[in-house]
Amino acid sequence: MSVLVVGSIALDTVKTPVEEHADLLGGSASYAAVGASFFSPVKLVGIVGDDFPSDHIDFLKGRNIDLGGLQQVPGKTFRWSGEYMWDMNTRETRSVDLNVFEHFTPTLPAGYTDSQIVLLANIAPSLQSHVLDQMSRPQFVIADTMDLWINIARADLEALLSRVDMLILNDGEARQLTGETSLIKAGAKIREMGPKFVAIKKGEHGCLLFGDGEFFSCAAYPLEDIHDPTGAGDTFAGGLAGYLAASVRGPVGFAQLRAAVVFGSVLASFNVEAFSLERLRTLTQSDIDSRYQSFRLMSQFEVIG
């Protein structure tokens, strides 16, 4: 099966304590689509301006990503600029220029509406719902969100939650959405809002997966060097969705999601090793398999005595 990915496509300027790069390929849909493409074909829906570099389009096409849903219109592409502090966890947004993305309305081509695995990457929840309005009967719907939508579009987000199978968000957003300081309580409370499954990302500390009476804690792969954390969460979501599309032939269960979370974490660990999607440009399936096996061995333990 292919994965339908809908979200933002951007040109980013990213500054860290040691480097700064401009006009990088970015956006939630870009990272998610490329992450998913290592496991399955992808159908991408987004919008860019006429300034969007052709080599980025060629790169996406080369990853077996169908761009039939990509709108290219007159104007400037969505641009974001941010700066990371020394811990690489704290980030300050320096500028946001929505440009053509400001009036983006996702429109699905005819061949996209019957997609079985759907990843609604980080865009306004009203637009995520608009995508679902165009779908026939998707098998599994994943939605990502952020603190902005919890603040300014909570009603739309709560309406969306009753329509998705899985919500992905980070630890701060989970606490903000639920008012709970405990992530265990927050995960359970979000499930009561509608999603059958919830994944709470904790950055360098991994991810928590919640199901119906089921729980899984996935560590993050230990890295000596992190060059750019931008898009790590979107790559995680894309890898997770792509793995499901490649491996599941029936109802999605907790066991499949456990494996998907691990593979998503592996993809995210590669993503942060270089700016933008540069590390994913050179990534091979052998690299993924090798790191997965290393990650699996690290996660095993034995009780002695």
Nearest to 252 by CA among 153, 152, 149, 141: 141
Domain of 210, CATH number, reads 3.40.1190.20
259-272 pLDDT, tens per residue?
999 999 999 999 99
Task: Note whether residue 62 is domain-resident.
Answer: yes
Where does the pLDDT of residue 248 fall: very low under 50, low under 70, confident under 90, or very high at 90 and above?
confident
Q: Does any domain span residue 305?
A: no
- 159: containing domain: 3-299
Within a domain: 281: yes
CB 271 within 8 A of CB 280: yes
Contact indicator for 118, 152 with CB cutoff of 8 Å: no
What pLDDT score does 203 carry? 85
Whether 161 is covered by a domain: the verdict is yes
Q: What is the pLDDT of residues 47-101, one digit of tens each?
A: 999 999 999 999 999 999 999 999 999 999 999 999 999 888 888 999 999 999 9
How would you class 166 by CB atoms within 10 Å of its CB: exposed for 0-12, middle for 13-18, buried for 19 or more? buried
- Tell me the pTM: 0.95
Residue 152 domain flag: yes
Residue 304 lies in a domain: no
- Looking at the 3D structure of the chain, how many domains does it have? 1
194 is a domain residue: yes
Considering the chain, what percentage of its residues have pLDDT values greater than 70? 98
What does the alpha-carbon distance between residue 91 and residue 254 come to, in Å, rounded to a whole number? 33
